[in-house]
Amino acid sequence: MTQELAIATYGLTKRFEGHMAVNDIDLRIKQGEVYGLIGPNGAGKTTLIRMLAAAEEPTKGEIYLNGDRLLRDDSNPLLKKRIGYLPDDFPLYDDLTVWDYLDYFARLYHLPQPARHRRLLEVLELVQLESKRKSIISTLSRGMKQRLSLARTIIHEPILLLLDEPVSGLDPLARQQFRQIIKILQEAGMTILISSHVLSDLAELCTSVGIMELGFLVESASLKELYRRLSRQQIILSTLGKMEVLQQKLSQNSCVETWETIPQSNSLKVNFTGGETNRAELLRSLILADIPLTEFHYSQEDLETIFLKLGHQQTS
Amino acid sequence: MKNIQLHNSISLWERFLDWNPQLFREIKGKLKTRNVVIAAAISTLVQFVVVISLLGELPAPETKNGYFQSIQSGRYGFGSGYGDRWTYTKDMFDNWVINWQLLWLDLFIALSIISIFALLIVGTYMLVADTVKEESRGTLNFIRLTPQSAGSILLGKILGVPILLYVAMLLFLPLHFTAGLGARIPLTLILSFYGVIVASCAFFYSLALLWSLMNFGSSFKPWLASGAMGLFLFSLTTALFHHPRLISNTLWDWLLLFNPSIVLSYLIDATYLPQHQVDFLPVGNLGELVFYGQAWWTKASWGIGFVLFNLSLWIYWCWSVLKRRFHNPQHTLIGKSQSYWITGWIVAIALGFTLQNTSSYRLTDNFILLQFCLGIFGLGLIAALSPHRQALHDWARYRHQTSREGNVLWKELVFGENSPSTVAVAINLAIAIAYITPSILLHLDRDRHYTLLGFILGAGSIILCAIAAQLILTMKTRKRSALSIITVASMLIIPPLCLGIADIYPQNLPQAWLFSFIPTIATKYATTSAVLLTMLGQWLGVAVIGFQMTRKLQQAGASETKMLLDRTNSLND
Ligand SMILES: Nc1ncnc2c1ncn2[C@@H]1O[C@H](COP(=O)(O)OP(=O)(O)O)[C@@H](O)[C@H]1O
Ligand SMILES: [Mg+2]
C-alpha cells in the first residue's frame, strides 16, 4: 500500500425501523482526495457521513480513519481532532458573536493561546467574515452562516473534512465562493468528503466520486478511472477528399469502433477506444494515406453524461 | 504597579475561562452587562423587602407629645407574652430592649430558605430548558463530536447556565453571612451549611441534566422538572416549620435528607435561643431519626456528615449515568452493570431507614412500605433498562457479529448493551431481596414468613411486568412506549381497583390480592399452597411471554436477513 487510506469502512450498516439506510458499505478514500458522494435524496448519504463523523452509532461494521478504529465514546479524543464535520442543517448559537463562537469551538478542541487567536484570524480571512467578527450570529445571512459553519468545521485544522450538502440552498455567487474555499482547503492537504444530490456541484471539485442508491454504494472510483471506463472518446475528422477513402482507412484501424457522418459537412464523428499512442498512430496512418485532413479534433464525454449513463445502468 | 496588577487579574480571568470551554461559552452568552444589572437589582430588592418586613416587627418610634402610650408588642420583645407577641420593655436609659439575636436569626433563616428555593427551582429550570433546547436544535451533537469529555461539558453547563442566578445569590452572601454571625451561629456550622447547599445543588443539577437528556418530549420538560422540584421543596420545607414531630421512623425520612434546609436545625440549635421562639424542627426530634439502629442525627457533625455523604453518593451515581448517557443518547438510560450497583446502594440505605422501630408491629408496616417502594423502583428499572424495538432487533440479528462479550448469551443478558432487560431486572430484584431477607428473619418474629413471601411475590409480578413491557417494546406499532406503560400500569392498578370496587378485602379473598402490587398485605391471610400456586402462575407467565419474545426476535432476525437478500438480488439484476 503506497498511499494510506484516510477512510476505510468495513460492512458499515445502519438500520432505521426496518429499513436499511446504509447497507454494508465498504468505502475507501485515499489521503488528499476530494471525494464526491452523489445520490438522490434518501439514498443514505447523510446517514453514512454521520457515522463517519461519529455522530451516529453504526448498527454494524467498522470505521477506520488513517488506520485507527473510530468509536463513539470518550476514548479517542485524538481521532476526533482529525475530523471536521459540517452537517446539512448546520445549527448555530444565536446569542454569541462570530468571534466568540469560533473561540468557543477552538477551546473545545484544546487550541492553546496564542495559536488560537492566530488561527481564528486565519479562518475568518479564509471564509471572508473578518468584517463580521463582532456581529451576533442571528444577524448573518444564510450564506454567511454557511461559511461561518465551515469556519467552525476547520477551526482545529482537521485532516479529514466531511461536508454534507454544503452548497444546497445557496445562490450561485455564494456557491462559487464556497467552492473557492474548498479548493484552498484541498491544496492545504485535507482529505475532503463532500456530498450532494446534484452532480454539477461537485464535477469541478472532485478527484473521486461515489454513487449511493437505496443505501448501497453502487459505484466508487477515481474520476480518471471513470473517464477511462465509461466516457467515450470521440474524434472529429474533416476531409477535403472523398469520405469513402477516409472511411475505408478508418475501418482498418482496430481502435476505431463506430463512426457517424455529421450531416451537411464533410466530417465524421469517430468513437475511439485507444490511448494517446493509438491516436497518434491513427493520425499518421491517415496522413500517410494522403487524405487531405482539415480537422483532427479529440474530445471526451463530460461527467454529466457519464453520470446519466451510470444512472441508466442502475435503474435497468 | 497598578498596571501589573490589572494585567495579572486579567490573565487570571483568562486562565479561568481557559479551564472549561463550556463555561466560557455560557459566560459569553449570558453574562452581559444588562442581564447582570437586572440580576443584581432583583437580588438587592429581595433582600431589601425581607429586611423591611422583619424590621416592621420592631416597636414604632414614640410620638413626641403623646403622653398616652399603648403597650407595644412584637416578635423581638423581652417582656411577657406568647407566640409572636412579646411586649417591648425599656432599659434604664429609656431605650427599647430588643432581641437582636432572634432578629438576625430570622433574617438568616429567611435568606437561607429563599436562596435554597431560588437555587434549586430556578436553577433546575434554567439547566433543563437550556439543555433541552440545545438537544432539540442539534447543537449538542457538535459538542459531542469534540474531544472534550462528557464531564467537562456537563460541569461547564452546571457552572455556567445558571450563572446569573449565582450572581444574584452571591449578592445575598454578605448579608446572609453577617446575619449568621449576628445570630451567634458558629462559623464552622455556617460554612458547612454552605457546603450542604452546594452539594444539594450539585445533586439536583445533575439530576436535572439527566432528566433533560432523556429521549422524550421537550417543551414541557423544564416546567415539569422545576414544578416537581418546587413541590418537593415546598412540602418538605413547610413541614420542617410546622410539624415538630416530622420524623416518621419509616422509609419516608430518607426524603428529608435531600432537603438542605434540614441542616438549619443544627444552626438554630447552636444559637441557644428557646425552641418555642423559632418554631423549626428541633434537633431533639431530628435525633429520633435512626439508621440501622443508630441515631446519627443527635450531633451536628455526624448529622451534617451523613447528609453530605448521602448527597455525594447520589451525585457520584448521577454522574456515572450522565457520562454514559451524554455520548450514547440512543442507548438505554442506565447500563446493566450500573443498575446492580445503584440497586445495591439504594437498598442498603432504604433498609437502614426501614429498621427504625423496635416494635414488631410497626416494623412489619415499615417492611410493607419497603416492598411497595421496591415495586416502584422495579418499574423504574424496567423503564431505564429496556431497549426498544430497533436496538433489540439489531441485537438479535447482529449479536454474533458485533458482540464484545464473546457471544455468551447469559453474559450478554446480564451485562450487555441492548439485550432484553428481563434478566437484569430479575437480578436487581434478587440483589435487593437477598440483602433484605436476613433483616426480615432477624427482626420480625410472627410476621416474618408472610413478609418474605410478599417480597418474593412482589418481585415476581415486577418481573412479569418487565417481560411484558419488553415484549410490547418489540412490537411494530408506533406507540410502543405508551402502550407498554399502559399495559404495565393496568397490570398493576386494575386488579386492586376492581377488588376494591367489588368490596373484596385481603381478609376475605387473599388469593385475589396475591397478584396485586403489594402482595404483602394478602400473604398474611392466604394459605401457603395458594401463595406457592401464585408463584407458579407468575413463573408460568414469565416463561410463556419469554418464549413468545424469543420466537419474535428470532423471526425478526430471520426476516431481516431475507429482506436484505431480496433487495441485494433485485439491485444486482
Ligand atoms: N433518524 C432517522 N430515523 C428513521 N429513519 C431515518 C433517520 N434518518 C434517516 N432516515 C432514513 O434513512 C434514509 C436515508 O436518509 P439520509 O441518509 O438522510 O439520505 P440522504 O442524505 O441521502 O438524503 C431515508 O429513507 C430516511 O428516511
Ligand atoms: Mg442528506
Give the per-residue pLDDT at A315: 41
Residue B402 carries which side chain, given as an amino acid letter? Answer: T
Across the interface, whether the CB atoms of B18 and A16 are under 8 A apart is answered: no
Considering only the beta carbons, identify the residue of A55, A73, A97 that sits closest to B141: A55
Which of A70-79, B224-233, B373-382 is modeled with the greatest confidence? B224-233
Task: Name the more confident of A24 and B563.
Answer: A24
Catalogue the E-assigned strands of chain A.
5-16, 19-25, 28-30, 34-38, 60-65, 68-69, 83-86, 160-164, 191-196, 208-213, 216-222, 233-239, 256-262, 267-272, 293-300
Cβ of A166 closer than 6 Å to ligand 1, yes or no, is no
pLDDT band at residue A1 using 50, 70 and 90 as cut-offs: very low
Residue nearest to atom 24 of ligand 1 (CA): A42
Are both B388 and B278 inside the same structural domain? no
Residue B93 lies in a domain: no
**Closest CA of chain A from B323, distance in Å:** 9
Across the interface, whether the CB atoms of A214 and B138 are under 8 A apart is answered: no
Cβ of A50 closer than 6 Å to ligand 1, yes or no, is no
Q: Could you list the residue range(s) of the whole structural domain that residue B428 is in?
A: 330-492+542-572
**Closest CA of chain B from A190, distance in Å:** 18
Q: For chain A, give the mean pLDDT.
A: 84
In terms of Cα–Cα distance, which of A314, A293, A307 is closest to A36? A307
Q: Any CB–CB contact under 8 A between A132 and chain B? A: no
Task: Name the more confident of B41 and A18.
Answer: B41
Residues with Cβ within 8 Å of residue A190, at least 6 apart in sequence: A32, A154, A158, A159, A160, A161
Are both B143 and B210 inside the same structural domain? yes
What's chain B's Rg over C-alpha atoms?
29
Domain boundary among B257, B285, B315: B315
Are both B148 and B114 inside the same structural domain? yes
Residue A316 has pLDDT above 50, yes or no: no
Q: Which residues pair with A195 in a beta bridge?
A: A37, A164
Domain boundary among B266, B283, B315: B315
Q: How far is the CA of B186 from the centre of ligand 1 (A)?
A: 63
Backbone φ and ψ for B24, nearest 5 degrees, come out as -55, -45
Q: Whose atoms come closest to the Cα of A48: which ligand?
A: 1
Task: Name the more confident of A134 and B510.
Answer: A134
Domain boundary among B285, B315, B345: B315
Residue B79 lies in a domain: no
Are both B284 and B172 inside the same structural domain? yes
User: Can you state the percent helix, strand and coil of chain B, rounding each to 5?
Assistant: 75, 0, 25
Are both B248 and B161 inside the same structural domain? yes
Backbone φ and ψ for B472, nearest 5 degrees, come out as -65, -35
Residue B550 carries which side chain, given as an amino acid letter? Answer: T
Cβ of A41 closer than 6 Å to ligand 1, yes or no, is yes
pLDDT band at residue B413 using 50, 70 and 90 as cut-offs: confident
Residue B437 lies in a domain: yes
Residue B85 lies in a domain: no
Give the per-residue pLDDT at B563: 62
Across the interface, whether the CB atoms of A105 and B24 are under 8 A apart is answered: no
Question: Does ipTM top 0.85?
Answer: no
Across the interface, whether the CB atoms of B143 and A108 are under 8 A apart is answered: yes
Per mean pLDDT, which range of A101-110, A201-210, B554-563 is the poorest?
B554-563
Give the per-residue pLDDT at B565: 61
Give the per-residue pLDDT at A313: 52
Interior CA angle at A145 toward A139 and A147, to 5°? 140
- Chain segment B171-200, per-residue pLDDT in tens: 999 999 999 999 999 999 999 999 999 999
Are both B347 and B299 inside the same structural domain? no
Backbone φ and ψ for A239, nearest 5 degrees, come out as -135, 155
Give the per-residue pLDDT at B165: 96
pLDDT, mean of residues B203-211: 95
Are both B352 and B291 inside the same structural domain? no
Residue B20 lies in a domain: no
**Closest CA of chain A from B389, distance in Å:** 8
Give the per-residue pLDDT at B91: 72
Are both B274 and B396 inside the same structural domain? no
- Chain segment A47-82, per-residue pLDDT in tens: 999 999 888 888 888 899 888 888 876 667 788 888
Are both B310 and B269 inside the same structural domain? yes
- Chain segment A80-122, per-residue pLDDT in tens: 888 999 988 888 888 899 999 999 999 999 888 888 999 999 9
* pTM attached to this predicted model: 0.87
Instruction: Report the domain count for chain B.
Output: 2
Residue B180 lies in a domain: yes
Give the per-residue pLDDT at A264: 79
Are both B428 and B456 inside the same structural domain? yes
Give the per-residue pLDDT at A312: 46
Angular region, B69: left φ>0, alpha ψ -120 to 50, beta rest: beta
Considering only the beta carbons, identify the residue of B138, B148, B564 that sits closest to A89: B138
| DSSP letter (8 states) at residue B71 | P
pLDDT, mean of residues A175-182: 85
Give the per-residue pLDDT at B434: 94
Quote the CA–CA distance of B474 and B490 in Å, as a whole number. 19
In chain A the domains, ranked by start, together with CATH numbers, are 2-228 (3.40.50.300), 232-300 (3.30.70.100)
Residue B1 has pLDDT above 70, yes or no: no
- Chain segment B44-59, per-residue pLDDT in tens: 999 999 999 998 878 7
Residue B104 has pLDDT above 70, yes or no: yes
Q: Ligand 1, closest atom to CA A43?
A: 22
Residue B310 has pLDDT above 80, yes or no: yes
Give the per-residue pLDDT at B404: 54
Q: For chain B, give the mean pLDDT.
A: 85
Residue B348 lies in a domain: yes
Give the per-residue pLDDT at B498: 80
A149 burial type by CB count under 10 A (0-12 exposed, 13-18 middle, 19+ buried)? buried
Considering only the beta carbons, identify the residue of B25, B149, B401 that sits closest to A104: B25
**Closest CA of chain B from A129, distance in Å:** 20
Q: Any CB–CB contact under 8 A between A10 and chain B? A: no
Are both B356 and B307 inside the same structural domain? no
In B328-421, which residue ranges form alpha helices assigned H by DSSP?
Answer: 336-354, 360-385, 389-402, 409-415
Which of B111-125, B385-399, B431-445, B540-554 is modeled with the greatest confidence? B111-125
**Three-class DSSP labels, A24-48:** EECCEEECCCEEEEECCCCCCHHHH
Are both B202 and B285 inside the same structural domain? yes
Cβ of A93 closer than 6 Å to ligand 1, yes or no, is no
Residue B175 lies in a domain: yes
Cβ of A290 closer than 6 Å to ligand 1, yes or no, is no
pLDDT band at residue B475 using 50, 70 and 90 as cut-offs: confident
